Amino acid sequence: MRISRWKAATVVAAVAASLATTGVSWGAPAPVDGLPTSGSNTPTMEAPPCAPDEDPTVGCGLRIIGHNDIVGRANSFNLAKIGSCAYVTSAGRAEPGAATPAALAGPTDGVAVLDAHDPTNPQLVSILQPQGGVDSGETVSAVDAGTRKVLVVGAYGGRKTVDALDSTYGPALEIYDVSGDCTQPIHTATIYWPDNAHNLTLNPTATRVYGTRYAAEPKATAATAGNALLGLGPVLASSPVPVTDVMVMDITDLANPRFATELPLILPDGSPTECHKVEFDATETRMYCASDKLSSEAQPDGREPPYSVWPAAGPTIWDVSEISEGKPNPVAHFVGQSPVKGQGGHHAVPMTATDSKGQQRRYVVAANELAFTCDMAAYPRIWDITDEAHPTVVSELHLPASDNCSGNHYNNVDNRENTTMALVGWIDAGFRVFDVRDPVHPRPLAFFKPGSGCYSIAYLDEALGYIWFACEGGFYVADLAPAARASMDLPSRPPSAPTGLSSQAWSVRSTFAAAAPASGLGQAAVGVVCWLPATSAPRTISGP
């Protein structure tokens, strides 16, 4: 979910007024043995140590190796990665719920394709502007499954009907084959969901796309008509809880995708839950859902029910083996959920680490998203899920007091099978790295605040060991500073490796233009539009 600062303030006021009259407390996580609890304020952690050439107001422990501001646009949002290529989405300039259709897209809106084979100088190759990609925001996923490499983008889930074009086509999903040159995505198909998918996740083999339906947002109604126009047939299916399920698209044939099924998510007490985003284990038998409890009661900020009850949020685990095994009429079976609620409703990522006894254990790291007040902050928790039916909170990740009012966004880890670092986009508090080799005792390792919000999923580029992330001001490649590397028992970089820029160098470079100038860009006339630097010839990628 994305939300404007002014709208967030309105929500805060409404929520605060309601809490004052109802006596409900949203600020403190449930007390857990050995964990910090908030009392009247959200817990904090000390900031990581700073070297003499680092500015603690900008960042410590992280060196910026490369950066591309994507022709100066200030609305870069999420990130997907395949090989040496980065795919950076944009978020619509309009208010949430009024997303930008292709017909109204600005010259820099869309999915930026960047070539980062030289991490010190990532190059913008093109900006894709298909119907489902001009305002994809969070709605992007990419998977490298060996010889099969796929990128999918879609209309962001907050989108409303804006004009006749958008009304006709509804919630588009765009499919790209990037099995060849990752800088040249080949558009293979456009298909439409029954409702807009808020987030997309490809399965490990890149043969299925899972799209989450988000009850708190307006729903598209023209999917069937859009498919009929393209000869794809209707995709609307029935479901006991049609506004809260996970939708599944079969893309085994990239040129002929088909809507496969819907997965209602019903908790043991019979109530529905919803997923903001889902992730999977390596075999696609377990689905990790960042879950929000749903309620039909009136909500403090005035949204129509059903709505997400953020204090009741927490990750859930589901058995989806019936899908991966190809069974007819597959069902997602509930496996487990922690009794500790209040965080974990935005993004739940599986990880594996070794405990103090030398035994490998499985975990999930998950957070909420929005910080309504400093006493209602969003922050990641780590759950031990070795016993899947009974996930147990073992620790929490927090900001230093100076940044404690920022909202959290996506979180990821460096390696899900051998996890050492948590990679967290913390919006106005920037991009953060935590040492989680001991998940019970995590510690802050590094951070960088570029002067623009950091919302994206981050990745460790295993080829070179650098960290990739995106903020509103563009795409970044970073490396741990020497002291941080040493503390993680990582080898020193060779003298020939780029040293990057310390935060002192970035402290005077942290403001980005609100929009790119119209000059210096070229536009292709037909097909999927690509915007390129003026020094490059415009080209068209085949598509609708």
Whole-number pLDDT of residue 402: 79
Query: pLDDT class for 440, splitting at 50, 70, 90?
Result: very high
- Residues 301 and 16: their CA atoms lie apart, in Å, by 9
Whole-number pLDDT of residue 274: 82
| Beta strands across the sheet bearing 59-60 | 59-60, 443-448, 431-435, 421-425, 411-413
Choose from 404-408, 417-421, 502-506, 510-514 the range with maximum mean pLDDT: 417-421
Whole-number pLDDT of residue 296: 45
Average the pLDDT over each of 11-25, 202-216, 267-281 and give the range with the smallest value.
11-25
More confident residue, 265 or 19: 265
Question: Taking the CB of residue 323, how many other CB atoms lie within 10 A of it?
Answer: 22
Interval 337-393: pLDDT, tens = 988 877 778 899 999 998 778 889 999 999 877 655 565 567 889 999 999 999 999
Q: Which long-range contacts (CB under 8 A, 24 or more apart) does 400-406 make?
A: 400/44, 400/45, 400/46, 400/47, 400/444, 401/44, 402/47, 403/428, 403/429, 404/41, 404/42, 404/44, 404/374, 404/377, 405/371, 405/373, 405/374, 405/377, 406/371, 406/377
Average the pLDDT over each of 28-42, 457-471, 481-495 and give the range with the smallest value.
28-42
**CA dihedral angle for residue 50, residue 56, residue 61, residue 66, rounded to 10 degrees:** -140
The DSSP-derived string for 424-458 is EE-BTT-EEEEE-SSTTS-EEEEEE--SS-B-S--
Across the chain, what does the average pLDDT equal? 76
Whole-number pLDDT of residue 31: 34
Q: Which two tokens stand for residue 368?
A: 């909420």
| Total-model pTM | 0.82
Average the pLDDT over each of 83-92, 121-130, 228-237, 488-497 and give the range with the smallest value.
228-237
pLDDT at 123 > cutoff 90: yes
Choose from 2-16, 25-39, 455-469 the range with maximum mean pLDDT: 455-469
- Residues 368 and 26: their CA atoms lie apart, in Å, by 13
- Residues 254 and 390: their CA atoms lie apart, in Å, by 38
Distance, first Cα to last Cα, the chain: 27
Interval 128-180: pLDDT, tens = 998 888 888 999 999 999 999 999 999 875 444 444 444 444 678 999 999 99
Residues in contact with 347: Cβ distance below 8 Å, sequence separation at least 6, in sequence order:
276, 277, 279, 290, 366, 367, 409, 410, 411, 457
Place of tokens 């990752």: 182
What average pLDDT score do residues 56-66 get?
A: 94
Whole-number pLDDT of residue 435: 97
The answer to whether 93 and 514 have CB atoms below 8 angstroms apart is no
Whole-number pLDDT of residue 40: 34
More confident residue, 236 or 25: 236
Please choose, from the candidates 263, 286, 394, 368, the residue with its C-alpha nearest in 3D space to the C-alpha of residue 335. Answer: 286
Query: pLDDT class for 222, splitting at 50, 70, 90?
Result: very low
Query: pLDDT class for 46, splitting at 50, 70, 90?
Result: confident
Question: Percentage of the chain surpassing pLDDT 90?
Answer: 49
